[in-house]
Amino acid sequence: MYFNHDQIIGISGASWGDEGKGKFTDVFASEADIIARAQGGCNAGHTVIVGDIKLKLHQVPSGIIYPDKLNVIGNGVVLDPRVLVENELKNLAEKGINTDNLRISGDSHVIMPWHRIIDRAREWRLAKNKIGTTARGIGPAYADKANRCGIRLNDLYDKKVLSEKIELIASEKENLLFGAWKLPEKTFSEWMNLPDQFNGLWLDNGKFDVQEIANSYSKWAAILHDYVTDIKELLNNAIKNNKKILLEGAQGLLLDIDHGTYPFVTSSNCSAGGFATGLGITPQSIDRIYNIMSAYATRVGAGPFPTELGTQEEISNESGDNKMSFKQSAELAKSTNDDYTIGKVIRHIAGEFGTTTGRPRRTGWFDAVASSLAAKINGPDVIITKLDVLDVMPKIKICTAYKYTGPSTWYNGKNVENGDKFTVFPTDARILKCCSPAEFKEFEGWNSNITSVKNYDELPDLTKKYLKGIEQSTGCKIKFVSVGPKRSQTLKIME
């Protein structure tokens, strides 16, 4: 049903993350032999719901619940061993889920305490222009990898090498933080003291405790010892032996370091291209990529978001703890024309609060200008998720063009003038922040509960019309539709 004649399938986020990759990795994993993560780190938060079990996975692939399938973490992931050992593996064990089927590349780079501190310190320095990172140290870890001063998982198994590296790098980072950036020691200590962060890895003078860091990382490495292997060998042998492999993307295309809304992006290639480099398999071996797109847009963190309903300031006082009930939200949807309120209804019905950080997610209408990028960079096949969230909406919109309202400038070989229309997505945040929807296609809401629909044919005609609208405006082909977070709420569209 999912793999058919394909041997290797990738699940890629097509937007700004949180599209439902975890759900679909879990669904497709039922037919796979191996599930593999290739990039990102514990900035990712993937939700898997199986019966009464709800997993929130960050680094461990979303196929972990199947004991008979290997779950691998590739060289392209930046791994936080503390989070893996003390959070993820512990939580999985508490839920009775066996993790003997996990394998990790020894070549994956490791997130060190200074990466998290530098992540926070950069945001602190950017003040009003923050990226809104997850503060998990992702950007600084990838920066060190590119700068060839990273520490890899394999390094943790030689205490002498590890201590020398830590000593050298820690002093460089201290110079950066306390010298060049003049980070107050008090602020450093406050960050190091945050719950569940660095327990005991710093000294009273507010500096990194080199010895303690070496001891802690060696301790976590010892726990991970039996998982570490050569992932590219494992995968290439599996390919020879006709095993089916599912590649699980993290983040989404619009957060891709090359193709996303730079600089408001993450630091890895979350487009389909990242699978080959992050796992050591040939690009040709990947048979198909499914773009996961939600039926409306979301974004968490800062950065331009042309179809946003409401503003970041308006949502800042919302939290998952004061969520509106479904009934309240549905009533509100009928009675309002206000953008922020419509966005709030979507957020509260869907529970759009970050899986990793708990932040309220910004919500907006489906953006066909942005989403058409997926067909070009990842391929045409699409899975539409969270369609049920729109059940209560009287009107639904798809944005098909932007208007640029800003100063005259130059972008990708062309002059850009105030009033220009964009139908091709500008990936530069400088341009995009001056873009607002100029054209919408408006659809009548279907106003019925589709969460128990079992076949695509049974969906209301108005729902199908909306899906056709997405296909026509993005150049994509919808292959599956999701009408709820559970495995069973998955509809296949027959050719």
Residues annotated as catalytic (active site), given as ranges: 18, 46
Q: In whole angstroms, give the CA distance from residue 151 to residue 140.
A: 12
Helix segments in 178-325, DSSP class H: 185-192, 210-224, 231-240, 273-279, 312-315
Instruction: Pick from 19, 80, 308, 367 the residue near ligand GDP by CB under 6 A.
Output: 19
Q: In whole angstroms, give the CA distance from residue 44 to residue 22.
A: 10
What is the C-alpha R_g of the chain? Answer: 23
| The two structure tokens encoding residue 29 | 């994993």
Q: In whole angstroms, give the CA distance from residue 290 to residue 307.
A: 23
* Residue 391 in contact with Mg ion, rule: CB under 5 A: no
**What does 139 interact with, of ligand IMO, Mg ion, ligand GDP, none (CB < 5 to 8 A by kind)?**
ligand IMO
| The two structure tokens encoding residue 324 | 């509106």
Cβ 137 to Mg ion shortest distance, Å: 18
The residue range among 113-121, 141-149, 151-159, 350-358 that interacts with ligand GDP, by the rule CB under 6 A, is 350-358
Q: Using CB under 6 A as the criterion, what x/- string covers residues 352-371 for binding ligand GDP?
A: ---x----------------
Question: For ligand GDP, which is the closer residue by CB, 126 or 135?
Answer: 135
- Are 298 and 385 a contacting pair, CB within 8 Å? no
Torsion of CA 262, 265, 266, 269, to 10 degrees: -60
* Residue 41 in contact with ligand GDP, rule: CB under 6 A: no
The residue range among 13-21, 166-174, 198-206, 403-411 that interacts with ligand GDP, by the rule CB under 6 A, is 13-21
Cβ 347 to ligand IMO shortest distance, Å: 14
Question: For ligand IMO, which is the closer residue by CB, 23 or 103?
Answer: 23
AA identity, residue 215: N
* Residue 266 in contact with Mg ion, rule: CB under 5 A: no
Cβ 49 to ligand GDP shortest distance, Å: 6
* Residue 63 in contact with ligand GDP, rule: CB under 6 A: no
DSSP structural state of residue 208: B
Question: For ligand GDP, which is the closer residue by CB, 415 or 488?
Answer: 488
Q: In whole angstroms, give the CA distance from residue 129 to residue 122.
A: 10
Instruction: Pick from 8, 12, 17, 80 the residue near ligand GDP by CB under 6 A.
Output: 17
| The two structure tokens encoding residue 268 | 């890895």
Instruction: Pick from 10, 45, 260, 304 the residue near ligand GDP by CB under 6 A.
Output: 45
Nearest to 212 by CA among 138, 112, 118: 112
Instruction: Pick from 45, 63, 306, 360 the residue near Mg ion by CB under 5 A.
Output: 45
* Residue 355 in contact with Mg ion, rule: CB under 5 A: yes
Cα three-residue angle 379-380-382, rounded to 5 degrees: 110
Question: For ligand IMO, which is the closer residue by CB, 268 or 372?
Answer: 268
Nearest to 220 by CA among 71, 59, 355: 59
- Are 374 and 476 a contacting pair, CB within 8 Å? yes
Per-residue buried b or exposed e for 228-247, using 16+ beta carbons within 10 Å of the residue's own CB: beebeebbbebbeeebbbbb
**What does 131 interact with, of ligand GDP, ligand IMO, Mg ion, none (CB < 5 to 8 A by kind)?**
ligand IMO
| The two structure tokens encoding residue 412 | 């990708």
Contact residues for 32 (Cβ-Cβ < 8 A; gap 6+): 3, 9, 63, 69, 244, 245, 246
Q: In whole angstroms, give the CA distance from residue 189 to residue 302.
A: 26
* Residue 21 in contact with ligand GDP, rule: CB under 6 A: yes
| Residue number closest to ligand IMO, CB atom | 301
Q: Using CB under 6 A as the criterion, what x/- string covers residues 449-488 for binding ligand GDP?
A: ---------------------------------xxxx---
Question: For ligand IMO, which is the closer residue by CB, 273 or 469?
Answer: 273
| The two structure tokens encoding residue 13 | 């986020």
DSSP structural state of residue 80: -
Q: Report the interface residues with ligand IMO, using CB under 6 A.
A: 13, 16-18, 40, 43-46, 131-134, 136, 138-139, 250-252, 255, 266-267, 300-301, 355
Q: In whole angstroms, give the CA distance from residue 303 to residue 321.
A: 25
Cβ 54 to ligand IMO shortest distance, Å: 15
Contact residues for 184 (Cβ-Cβ < 8 A; gap 6+): none
Question: For ligand IMO, which is the closer residue by CB, 91 or 341?
Answer: 91
**What does 255 interact with, of ligand GDP, ligand IMO, Mg ion, none (CB < 5 to 8 A by kind)?**
ligand IMO
Question: For ligand GDP, which is the closer residue by CB, 138 or 151?
Answer: 138
Residues of this chain that interact with ligand GDP (CB under 6 A) are 13, 17-23, 45-47, 49, 350-351, 355, 385-386, 388-389, 482-485
Residues of this chain that interact with Mg ion (CB under 5 A) are 18, 45, 355
